[in-house]
């Protein structure tokens, strides 16, 4: 789960946070996973969203909704259902693995990532000759140019991500319109990644998709209807593209908007079994919170208070987890399982959400009534 759109709606701040922690790509490289949600929620305030969209559209033909939708074809999807279209793309997988390599080497230490990364990273230490030259050049490019940039909030990173997703079935990035230096290092690194990592990563991605698809088939109608009702909106008309990757970010998943696209790690231990399903629907719900976010902002403004940056994200966690538990009574929602409610930044959230938001999920209060009561109680709990 990622941050962002939620966060920016609430805080109007450009930094990315998740679960109360700084979620910028680099600062997440530390062992605080218990507080991280398998997603890096990104929620960008509408004004920022539209501004970014317009800017992106002016500079990159793949950053706008229409061409992207056109390329979301079943021919390149691993699997597709009514709600999600799953992909296992070569370029986006290599891109995010290179980012992980660059961050890890820069940190010069064990970054607390999952064991799979330790194994994957050890392979790069055995490279030699041209393979080593080309791979190291790519890692160096990432260290010098990309690792300090937020995966979602930064326009360049979002354009790179969307373009590499779109080019999943292309042998070369020559026609991609990306920075020629980036294209050069990626084209040179591609044979190395394909020879040493891609087979295992693609296999993990496809296994993850095969495991989660039956859950989406059985629960998707119920979850999308309940989530959309909770936010008084509708689920997207067409399936949301999900790029399944070996490495997403430290929180295991993130979502970009306009168009809504999810990136989720198949190897992150927090994204397995029923938690994979919660992660998917949590990520998808990031695209539905405009009305709730605006109500929160308005109600805090009435009280002349600043909205806590993570409150809307806490609502997302609670709601997706609540609906999951309705369908699977033994399931422990991610936020509870991973101690999110105990974070200092989430002080008072759980009590207020249970008291004021849960009745709304049960149909006993409107969205505006629930938000109004929630805002009052959160403010009271923090005084």
Q: The tokens of 119 are what?
A: 């194994």
Q: Which is nearer to Zn ion, 1 or 264 (CB)?
A: 1
What whole-number distance in Å separates Cα of residue 80 and Cα of residue 284? 15
CA dihedral 204, 93, 161, 167 (to 10 degrees): -100
91, 164 contact by CB (below 8 A)? yes
From candidates 1, 297, 335, 352, binder to Zn ion by CB under 5 A: 1
> Which of 253, 353, 310, 270 is CA-nearest to residue 20?
310
**Residue 268 C-beta: closest distance to Zn ion, Å:** 14
What whole-number distance in Å separates Cα of residue 353 and Cα of residue 318? 8
Mark the segment that binds Zn ion (CB under 5 A) among 38-46, 220-228, 328-336, 364-372: 38-46
**Residue 316 C-beta: closest distance to Zn ion, Å:** 6
What whole-number distance in Å separates Cα of residue 187 and Cα of residue 248? 21
Mark the segment that binds Zn ion (CB under 5 A) among 39-47, 96-104, 122-130, 352-360: 39-47
**Residue 317 C-beta: closest distance to Zn ion, Å:** 7
DSSP 238: S
Mark the segment that binds Zn ion (CB under 5 A) among 41-49, 57-65, 120-128, 270-278: 41-49
Output the CA–CA distances (angstroms, integers) from residue 115 to 110, 120, 243, in the order listed.
Answer: 10, 9, 22
Question: Is residue 39 involved in binding Zn ion (CB under 5 A)?
Answer: yes
Site map (CB under 5 A) of Zn ion, residues 119-158, x = contact = ----------------------------------------
Question: Is residue 264 involved in binding Zn ion (CB under 5 A)?
Answer: no
Question: Is residue 240 involved in binding Zn ion (CB under 5 A)?
Answer: no
Question: Is residue 178 involved in binding Zn ion (CB under 5 A)?
Answer: no
How, if at all, do strands 79-80 and 84-87 pair? antiparallel
From candidates 23, 28, 29, 41, binder to Zn ion by CB under 5 A: 41
Positions in the binding site for Zn ion (CB under 5 A):
1, 39, 41
């Amino acid at each position: 789960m990622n941050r962002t759109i939620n966060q920016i709606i609430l805080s109007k701040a450009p930094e990315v946070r998740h679960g109360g922690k700084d979620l910028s790509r680099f600062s997440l490289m530390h062992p605080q996973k218990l507080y991280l949600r398998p997603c890096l929620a990104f929620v960008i305030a509408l004004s920022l969203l539209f501004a970014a969209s317009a800017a992106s559209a002016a500079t990159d033909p793949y950053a706008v909704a229409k061409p992207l939708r056109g390329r979301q074809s079943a021919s390149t999807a691993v699997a597709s259902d009514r709600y999600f279209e799953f992909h296992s793309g070569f370029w986006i997988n290599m891109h995010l693995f290179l980012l992980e390599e660059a961050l890890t080497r820069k940190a010069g230490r064990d970054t607390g990532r999952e064991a799979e990364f330790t194994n994957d990273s050890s392979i790069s230490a055995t490279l030699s000759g041209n393979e080593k030259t080309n791979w190291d050049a790519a890692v160096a490019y990432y260290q010098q140019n990309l690792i300090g940039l937020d995966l979602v909030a930064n326009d360049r990173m979002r354009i790179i991500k969307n373009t590499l997703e779109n080019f999943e079935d292309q042998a070369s990035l020559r026609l991609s319109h990306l920075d020629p230096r980036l294209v050069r290092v990626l084209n040179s690194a591609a044979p190395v990644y394909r020879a040493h990592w891609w087979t295992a990563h693609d296999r993990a991605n496809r296994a993850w998709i095969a495991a989660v698809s039956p859950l989406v088939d059985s629960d998707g109608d119920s979850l999308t209807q309940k989530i959309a009702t909770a936010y008084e909106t509708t689920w997207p008309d067409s399936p949301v593209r999900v790029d399944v990757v070996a490495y997403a970010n430290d929180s295991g998943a993130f979502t970009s908007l306009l168009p809504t696209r999810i990136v989720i790690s198949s190897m992150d231990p927090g994204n397995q079994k029923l938690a994979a399903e919660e992660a998917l629907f949590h990520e998808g719900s990031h695209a539905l919170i405009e009305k709730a976010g605006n109500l929160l902002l308005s109600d805090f403004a009435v009280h002349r208070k600043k909205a806590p940056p993570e409150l809307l994200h806490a609502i997302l966690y609670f709601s997706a987890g609540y609906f999951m538990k309705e369908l699977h009574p033994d399931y422990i929602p991610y936020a509870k399982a991973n101690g999110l409610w105990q974070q200092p930044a989430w002080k008072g959230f759980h009590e207020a959400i249970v008291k004021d938001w849960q009745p709304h999920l049960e149909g006993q209060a409107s969205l505006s009534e629930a938000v109004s009561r929630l805002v009052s109680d959160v403010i009271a709990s923090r005084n």
